[in-house]
């Protein structure tokens, strides 16, 4: 399918795989999408800036890059930054079309329905989009999809009006008469208000008067404040809604001055916010920010997980604002025809964006799409190469930050792999990743990957809740699987993997490797050598200063399973590796937080006893300072102490054995993927024995039971 990307100051159209359906979502064939002139043109200009200027505008990225250089090196950081820059970014967040498919858990929407949709992460300028159900609304019969494609912009304007809380007969000034301003003028009129319209462009002021504004203000006609005072009988405006976009602080100052005492100002647009106390203090003015489409915006539970707010308590949500805007269009209370939208075929998206750069740019620009475009979920960018020199033909499943930041750079330089395919839930992410790493097959369909005979193995790096099911699918398809930890989130999932191999004990089965990379670090390998001939059990103390992650982060959700299952499992595997012994007892104790900021699930101490008599303790906490090193382990054994300092130094006390140190922290990621390929190519022992992979998972599940709410004090 075709999709629009913003890349180095230009809008380009590229072919990418179509998305597939997921729980809680609707698959939509787009008929029209509306370009947001303010937001998208700002993003377009930003991508044209050189990297040094972008860095100056966002110092946080400089700090992030500096940390990456410190931990991964300059060359690696340069490759990541250049890859991100060249890939481009999807754009668009408001569209309309017809429903292709509906997830089984979605009610009230059927294939064939005409719908409008919103969302910067979903409603892109693309032939097919997948959108969560709370960001999808039906279109009234008498509203064209071209008009309905402005649904997000209409909801933004409507939310601004709601924040102003207008009442019948009040006077409002609307500053900035672009599309949002023109919609705001009409919505205020629908509320029975007197509207004063102002903009630097006289033609926009004239259009606002045509759409119902009662009066206009233009700086060339005299002092704007005086003009507002004359129109309002010397009282001042009851309120001002700012829909302008300018870095100037003067807009805010003017808005405050135009208000009567105890009036209110609502900011919808993007203007300078260096406020002058004298402008609003004496009049005791109220200042409101209007956040996008309304309540639910930036709330992951609402937008992605489908939770709604009860109408009795939150009358107007994103979804209800979108529906109400379409009703206003249907009843003619808001008119778009006078705005004279220009419609461009999606193939000419570049021309559309160029038109919006000009002085005579239209107020609305809409992209149209063919009625029956491609819905293919796989795209062959270049011919699949035959296996060469015995290389493992690998498919990357899930192209998130970790896969792109860790695995793919290592795979790129490996001589054992041939990157054959990349699959992601979004086609544009898969396509961009494929370009960066020269991967021939791009897909959003896991089944097609598994059916491809030219693929030997998969590397699964999706969200945690998908790991077990995708691993079993790969194994049943005869593909070797390297699955990022955790292997599974429930006992049933772990037992299903165990059963797969138990049923094939006498057959050659595909290889499974759970991504417990720490055992592959040079420090863990050396420590195993030094303690292998011990005469007594060991005591192992591990401290993980994990750092705080907000409880709303996906890691804490059903997708992530929590930090014990999702990260602490690394350490349970490391203990298993060092003892090479079966677990006999697991106990865990957590803190009981006194506030809702911290969680018991990532602040605990777990103690394990192994069959060889060794005792291991993990202290896992999110309470500490991020500036303090993340990980340290002490191993007490046969009169010696081995101290592992954050995977860059192994110190030995009690023996003359020299310390081991590396310039950069090495947690074994590169060695892990090399071991996976070697085992496939050469056979022999697995990189991690199956019983050890299962044991690490079982320890995590045992700890999780101790951390469950019913066991909390």
| Domain chopping of the chain, boundaries | 2-149+300-365, 153-289, 391-514, 517-711
pLDDT value at 57 more than 60: no
pLDDT value at 50 more than 70: no
How confident is the model at residue 329, as a pLDDT? 98
In CATH terms, is domain 153-289 a member of 3.30.465.10? Answer: no
Do the first three CATH levels of 2-149+300-365 and 517-711 match, i.e. the same topology?
A: no
pLDDT in tens, 539-549: 999 999 999 99
Q: What percent of the chain has pLDDT over 70?
A: 92
pLDDT value at 244 more than 80: yes
pLDDT band at 65 (very low <50, low <70, confident <90, very high): low
Lowest mean pLDDT among 68-72, 204-208, 226-230, 656-660: 68-72
How confident is the model at residue 711, as a pLDDT? 65
pLDDT band at 382 (very low <50, low <70, confident <90, very high): confident
Name every residue whose Cβ is closer than 8 Å to that of residue 291 and which is 6 or more positions away in sequence.
159, 297, 298
pLDDT in tens, 428-465: 999 999 999 999 999 999 999 999 999 999 999 999 99
Average pLDDT, the chain: 92
Architecture of domain 517-711: 2-Layer Sandwich (3.30)
pLDDT value at 87 more than 70: no
pLDDT value at 279 more than 80: yes
pLDDT value at 351 more than 70: yes
Catalogue the long-range contacts made by 414-417 (C-beta closer than 8 Å, 24 or more residues apart).
414/670, 414/673, 414/674, 414/677, 415/391, 416/391, 416/392, 416/674, 416/677, 416/678, 416/681, 417/391, 417/392, 417/393, 417/673, 417/677
CATH of domain 391-514: 3.40.50.720
Lowest mean pLDDT among 66-70, 132-136, 500-504, 582-586: 66-70
How confident is the model at residue 280, as a pLDDT? 94
* pTM tops 0.85: yes
Q: Does a cis peptide bond (omega within 30 degrees of 0) precede residue 222?
A: no
For range 265-292, the mean pLDDT: 94
CATH of domain 2-149+300-365: 3.90.180.10
Q: Which of 332, 410, 545 is nearest to 79 (CA)?
A: 410
pLDDT in tens, 190-215: 999 999 999 999 999 999 999 999 99
pLDDT in tens, 549-583: 999 899 999 999 999 999 999 999 999 999 999 99
How confident is the model at residue 70, as a pLDDT? 60
pLDDT value at 342 more than 60: yes
How confident is the model at residue 184, as a pLDDT? 98
How confident is the model at residue 98, as a pLDDT? 98
pLDDT value at 48 more than 90: no
Handedness of CA 451, 453, 457, 458 (dihedral sign): negative
Using CA atoms, how far apart are residues 37 and 436, in angstroms rounded to an integer? 29
At 603, is the secondary structure helix, strand, or coil?
coil
Name every residue whose Cβ is closer than 8 Å to that of residue 655 and which is 6 or more positions away in sequence.
640
């Amino acid at each position: 399918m075709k999709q629009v990307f913003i890349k180095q100051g230009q809008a380009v159209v590229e072919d990418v795989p179509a998305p597939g359906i997921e729980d809680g979502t609707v698959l939509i064939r787009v008929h029209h999408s509306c370009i947001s002139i303010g937001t998208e043109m700002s993003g377009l200009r930003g991508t044209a800036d050189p990297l040094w200027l972008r860095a100056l505008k966002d110092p946080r990225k400089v700090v992030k890059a500096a940390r990456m250089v410190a931990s991964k090196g300059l060359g690696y950081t340069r490759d990541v930054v250049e890859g991100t820059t060249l890939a481009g970014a999807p754009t668009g967040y408001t569209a309309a079309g017809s429903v292709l498919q509906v997830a089984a858990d979605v009610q009230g929407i059927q294939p064939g329905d005409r719908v409008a949709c919103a969302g910067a992460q979903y409603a892109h300028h693309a032939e097919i989009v997948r959108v969560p159900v709370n960001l999808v609304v039906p279109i009234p019969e008498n509203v064209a999809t071209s008009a309905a494609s402005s649904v997000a912009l209409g909801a933004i304007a409507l939310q601004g009006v709601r924040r102003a809380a207008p009442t019948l007969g009040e006077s409002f000034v609307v500053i900035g008469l672009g599309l949002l301003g023109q919609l705001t003028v009409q919505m205020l009129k629908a509320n029975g208000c007197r509207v004063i319209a102002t903009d630097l462009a006289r033609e926009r002021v004239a259009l606002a008067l045509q759409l119902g504004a009662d009066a206009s203000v233009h700086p060339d006609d005299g002092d704007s404040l005086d003009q507002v005072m004359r129109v309002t009988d010397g009282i001042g405006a009851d309120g001002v809604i700012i829909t302008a976009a300018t870095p100037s602080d003067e807009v805010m100052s003017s808005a405050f001055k135009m208000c009567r005492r105890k009036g209110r100002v609502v900011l919808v647009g993007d203007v300078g916010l260096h406020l002058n106390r004298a402008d609003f203090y004496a009049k005791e003015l109220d200042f409101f920010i209007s956040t996008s489409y309304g309540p639910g915006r930036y709330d992951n539970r609402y937008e992605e997980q489908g939770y709604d707010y009860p109408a009795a308590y939150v009358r107007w949500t994103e979804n209800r604002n979108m529906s109400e805007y379409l009703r206003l269009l249907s009843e003619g209370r808001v008119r778009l025809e006078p705005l004279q939208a220009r419609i461009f075929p999606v193939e000419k998206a570049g021309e559309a964006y160029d038109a919006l750069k000009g002085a005579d740019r239209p107020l609305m620009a809409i992209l149209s799409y063919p009625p029956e475009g491609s819905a293919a979920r796989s795209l062959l960018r270049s011919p699949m190469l035959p296996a060469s020199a015995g290389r493992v033909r690998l498919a990357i499943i899930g192209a998130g930050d970790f896969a792109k930041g860790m695995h793919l750079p290592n795979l790129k330089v490996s001589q054992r792999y041939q990157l054959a395919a990349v699959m992601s839930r979004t086609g544009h992410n898969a396509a961009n990743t494929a370009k960066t790493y020269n991967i021939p097959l791009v897909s959003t369909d896991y089944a097609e990957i598994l059916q491809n005979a030219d693929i030997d193995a998969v590397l699964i790096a999706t969200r945690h809740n998908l790991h077990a099911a995708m691993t079993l699918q790969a194994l049943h398809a005869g593909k070797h699987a390297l699955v990022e930890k955790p292997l599974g989130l429930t006992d049933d999932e772990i037992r299903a993997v165990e059963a797969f191999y138990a049923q094939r004990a006498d057959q050659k089965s595909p290889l499974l490797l759970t991504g417990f990379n720490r055992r592959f670090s040079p420090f863990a390998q050396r420590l195993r050598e030094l303690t292998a001939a011990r005469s007594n059990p060991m005591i192992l103390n591990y401290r993980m200063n994990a750092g705080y992650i907000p409880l709303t982060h996906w890691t804490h959700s059903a997708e992530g399973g929590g930090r014990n299952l999702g990260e602490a499992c690394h350490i349970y595997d490391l203990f298993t590796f060092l003892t090479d012994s079966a677990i006999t007892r697991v106990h865990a104790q957590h803190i009981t937080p006194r506030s809702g900021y911290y969680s018991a699930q990532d602040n605990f101490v777990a103690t394990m006893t192994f069959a060889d008599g060794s005792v291991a303790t993990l202290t896992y906490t999110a309470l500490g300072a991020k500036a303090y090193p993340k990980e340290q382990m002490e191993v007490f054994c046969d009169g010696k102490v081995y101290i592992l300092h954050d995977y860059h130094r192994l110190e030995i006390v009690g023996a003359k054995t020299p310390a081991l140190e590396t310039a950069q922290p090495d947690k074994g990621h590169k060695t892990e993927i090399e071991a996976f390929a070697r085992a496939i190519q050469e056979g022999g022992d697995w990189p991690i024995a199956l019983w050890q992979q299962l044991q690490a998972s079982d320890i995590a599940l045992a700890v999780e039971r101790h951390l469950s709410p019913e066991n909390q004090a």
